[in-house]
Amino acid sequence: MTEVVSLSGPEQHDDESTLKVSSNYSKDTKVGEGTYAVVYVGVQKSSHRKIAIKEIKTGGFKDGLDMSAIREMKYLQELRHVNIIELIDIYSEHNGLNLILEYLPYDLEMLIKDKSIIFTPANIKSWMLMTLRGLHHCHRNFILHRDLKPNNLLLSPQGVLKIADFGLARSLGAPNEELTSNVVTRWYRAPELLFGSKHYTGAIDIWSVGVIFAELMLRTPYLPGANDMDQLIVTFRALGSPTEANWTNVSKLPGYNKINIYPPPTRQELRNRFSAATESTLDLICSMLMLDPLKRCTTTEALLSKYFVESPRATDPKSLPKIVPKNK
Amino acid sequence: MGPTKCPYPNCNKILRKNKFKKQIFDDLNIEKECDIRKKILEIYNKQESNFKNLNEYNKYLEEIETIIFNLSHDIDIEETTNLVKQYELMNKELINENNDKISKDYENFMKRQNLEKSFKQTRLKLQKEIEDEDAKLKKLKNLENLNNMYDEGITKNKNNNNNNNNKNVLNQMKESILKKTSARQKQLKELEQRQQERLSQLTSSFGGQQLDDINGKLQKPETPFTPFNGDRVLKLPYNEDNDYYDPIYFNLVEKNDEFRASGYNLKEFFKRSLSEAFIGLDCFICDEK
């Protein structure tokens, strides 16, 4: 089944070997800075391969390393798949940790926003296919990503899509564990999370992929809520309000409140919204955006859907539209 | 009357009534170029499929443009007209063949267009009818509910003969509507199927062939599509026991309705535990390295 790399993969190095490891990578230019890390572009000297170095900031956190850094290392060490970002190595330097990651110059959000690029149905299919394959690999290892959005779907210079940013990932919870519902960027948050569920499953990732799918078709965010309350309204206005009839026990969720009742959209309304979609495209979007998480499709079902088999065939990654990174 | 010489001195053209036309563009130069283009394209009408590669086709297009440019800007008129005439003579058969092809393609395109239009119209109509009937059904249900309530009131007064009749009528109406809806749905399905068939017929006849040719040029024969890229685990290293019952966990999940609403599936969790137990087995680190 999965490659077992946790033991043979990146290792903790002692001081002497750290020198050896760190001297194998050059840190060249700084390309970005987040709350807990600075990202540099560099080169792996032994292979001349371009890489990205994520330098984790230490200090300032009362419990040592930031939680998301630990999560990212923990899960990326275990996952190895063409559609998931590769963690090449880890070394520590000046009390800071450095993650050596695959160099992936641009993300899906940049493509969606670049209006000079035209998406064909085959392009969208290709991105969806790669996203779902990556997510399928996470889910079959019982890992929830919990922050899927176009911004976290990176693209290699060869056009291959890779899921990145595992800073919020965790494994499927046991029944006696409570998970926080404050995960996933708001626009891509599944309804059970909006209602404060503490025992959600991989279905929340499928929801995010469904929203991304819609965004690829529309070239604009599909459910852009202004705040958490508004997110509920925007979601249900587009997809209908949940009731006990279409979602058993929904009213038992801690954050459930009966706000405005919107009727579910008719097929014709959906056709009008996604004017370029074929019937099987709509079928797949709908099954990924089912309100009841138990009725939502799994990654396996999504990959086996008619959408991927019918013409046009998904574009080869090499021929997908790309952005040439600007040199600053 | 009849064809006459042009009244301008030194212009020896013969004017005929049917050669006059209405001006479309304000700019006479554009008008002239359009006329010339139309004429030339009727002669130089090779398609991309007539060429071995794109480069040759582009060269051909360039040639056409030069001819049109020359003719519309009065450059080397005699030479160019001779060239065109010669080409026409040399390629007469091919020209006729291509013209036939083009008109057929156009016909096919129009047929497709019409077919799609009528398909959309009928589909919309059927859908609307289904929706209408749904609404009617809902109304009937309401009526029935009211009737039932009324019934209850009446039975107390021991007079329900009349109402039984009412009930029957309602049921009959309901049934007939349901029948209609299912018939419509069937029609809809049939319609969609027929449309598919027709479209595939059209594509397999003339118009689509070229399209396939072009597609064939772009996409070399590939490996068949596999949704999981050949990486799907069908056989787990362990067997699941469907009757397995864990009193503590099952109790926890069954007692709290929140689990059902969150889509929680205890079996998935058991799978996680099992796969964690089995994942390192049969794996030798020295081989993996």
ipTM of predicted complex: 0.83
Give the count of beta carbons closer than 10 Å to the beta carbon of residue B74. 8
Say which residues have a Cβ less than 8 Å from residue A193's Cβ, sequence separation at least 6: A181, A183, A184, A200, A204
Q: How far is CA A2 from CA A136, A163, A229, A230, B270, in A?
A: 12, 17, 40, 40, 18
What does the alpha-carbon distance between residue B255 and residue B24 come to, in Å, rounded to a whole number?
80
Nearest beta carbon to residue A142 from set B131, B228, B272: B272
Beta strand A106-107 pairing with A87-93: unpaired
The percentage of residues in chain B with a pLDDT greater than 70, rounded to a whole number, is 87
Mapping DSSP onto H, E and C, the string for B204-249 reads HCHHHHHHHHHHHHHCCCCCCCCCCCCCCCCCCCCCCCCCCCCHHH
The pLDDT of residue B158 is 55
The pLDDT of residue A328 is 40
Residue A95, sorted as left (phi over 0), alpha (psi -120 to 50) or beta, turns out to be left
Instruction: Say how many residues make up chain A.
Output: 328
What does the alpha-carbon distance between residue A163 and residue A109 come to, in Å, rounded to a whole number?
13
Task: Identify whether A175 is preceded by a cis peptide bond (ω within 30 of 0).
Answer: no
Residue B218 has pLDDT above 70, yes or no: no
CB contact under 8 A, A252 and B283: no
The pLDDT of residue B186 is 85
A38 known member of a binding site: yes
Quick check: is A14 catalytic? no
Residue of A nearest to B128 (CA): A268
Which of A58, A60, A59, A28 lies closest to A43 in space, CA to CA? A28
Beta strand B14-15 pairing with B4-5: antiparallel
Max CA separation in chain B (angstroms): 113
The pLDDT of residue B13 is 82
Which of A104, A70, A77, A71 lies closest to A3 in space, CA to CA? A77
Q: Which residues of B touch A1 (CB under 8 A)?
A: 233, 236-237, 275, 279
Nearest beta carbon to residue B265 from set A137, A174, A201: A201
**When comparing pLDDT for B174 and A185, which is higher?**
A185
| Amino acid letter, A309 | V
CB contact under 8 A, B263 and A292: yes
pLDDT tens track for B230-276: 888 888 888 888 888 888 898 989 888 999 999 999 999 999 998 88
Pair of tokens at residue B116: 């799609």
What does the alpha-carbon distance between residue B4 and residue B14 come to, in Å, rounded to a whole number?
6
Q: How confident is the model at residue B19 (pLDDT cuts 50, 70, 90)?
A: confident
The pLDDT of residue A200 is 95
CB contact under 8 A, A200 and B266: no
The pLDDT of residue A8 is 39
Residue in A3, A8, A162 to test binding to B, most B beta-carbons within 10 Å: A8
The pLDDT of residue B234 is 84
What's the average model confidence in pLDDT over B149-160?
A: 66
Residue B206 has pLDDT above 60, yes or no: no
What does the alpha-carbon distance between residue B45 and residue B94 come to, in Å, rounded to a whole number?
9
The pLDDT of residue A59 is 63
Q: Which residues of B touch A192 (CB under 8 A)?
A: 261-263
| Amino acid letter, B249 | Y
CB contact under 8 A, A142 and B225: no
What does the alpha-carbon distance between residue A81 and residue A108 come to, in Å, rounded to a whole number?
19
**When comparing pLDDT for B65 and B49, which is higher?**
B65
| Domain A107-319, CATH | 1.10.510.10
Residue B279 has pLDDT above 90, yes or no: no
- Name the 3-class secondary structure at A197: coil
* Residue numbers of B between 224 and 263 with CB closer than 8 Å to A: 225, 227-229, 231-233, 236-237, 249, 252-253, 257-263
Long-range CB pairs of B185-190 (<8 Å, 24+ gap) are B185/B130, B187/B126, B188/B123, B188/B126, B188/B127, B188/B130
Residue linked to tokens 């309804």: A191
* Topology, domain A19-102: Phosphorylase Kinase; domain 1 (3.30.200)
The pLDDT of residue B65 is 93
CB contact under 8 A, B263 and A175: no
Tell whether B22 is within 8 A of chain A (Cβ): no
At how many degrees (to 10) do helices A203-218 and A279-288 cross? 140
Tell whether A313 is within 8 A of chain B (Cβ): yes
Write down the pTM of the prediction.
Answer: 0.66
**When comparing pLDDT for A222 and B51, which is higher?**
A222
Tally A–B CB contacts below 8 A: 109
What's chain B's Rg over C-alpha atoms?
38
- Catalytic site residue from A147, A228, A230, A283: A147
Secondary element (H or E) of residue A37 = strand A37-44
Angle at A63 between CA A60 and CA A66, to 5 degrees: 70
Contact A153, A208 (CB under 8 A): no
Q: From first to last of the 328 residues of chain A, give the pLDDT tens digit.
A: 333 333 334 444 455 555 566 778 888 888 888 777 889 999 988 888 899 999 887 765 566 677 888 889 999 998 999 999 999 988 887 777 889 999 998 899 999 999 889 999 999 999 999 999 999 999 999 999 999 999 999 999 999 999 999 989 999 999 999 999 999 999 999 999 999 999 999 999 999 999 999 999 999 999 999 999 999 999 999 999 999 889 989 999 998 887 778 999 988 899 999 988 999 999 999 999 999 999 999 999 999 999 999 888 899 999 999 886 554 4
**Euclidean distance between the first and the last CA atom of chain B, given in angstroms as a whole number:** 99
Residue of A nearest to B124 (CA): A268
Residue B212 has pLDDT above 70, yes or no: no
Question: Which segments of chain B does DSSP mark as H helices, in order?
Answer: 28-43, 54-72, 77-90, 92-156, 161-204, 206-218, 247-255, 257-261, 266-278, 285-288
Which of B105, B102, B107 lies closest to B44 in space, CA to CA? B102
Domain ranges of chain A: 19-102, 107-319
What's the average model confidence in pLDDT over B190-208?
A: 66
**When comparing pLDDT for B197 and A284, which is higher?**
A284
Q: What is the DSSP letter of A174?
A: P
What does the alpha-carbon distance between residue B77 and residue B73 come to, in Å, rounded to a whole number?
9
**When comparing pLDDT for B191 and A202, which is higher?**
A202
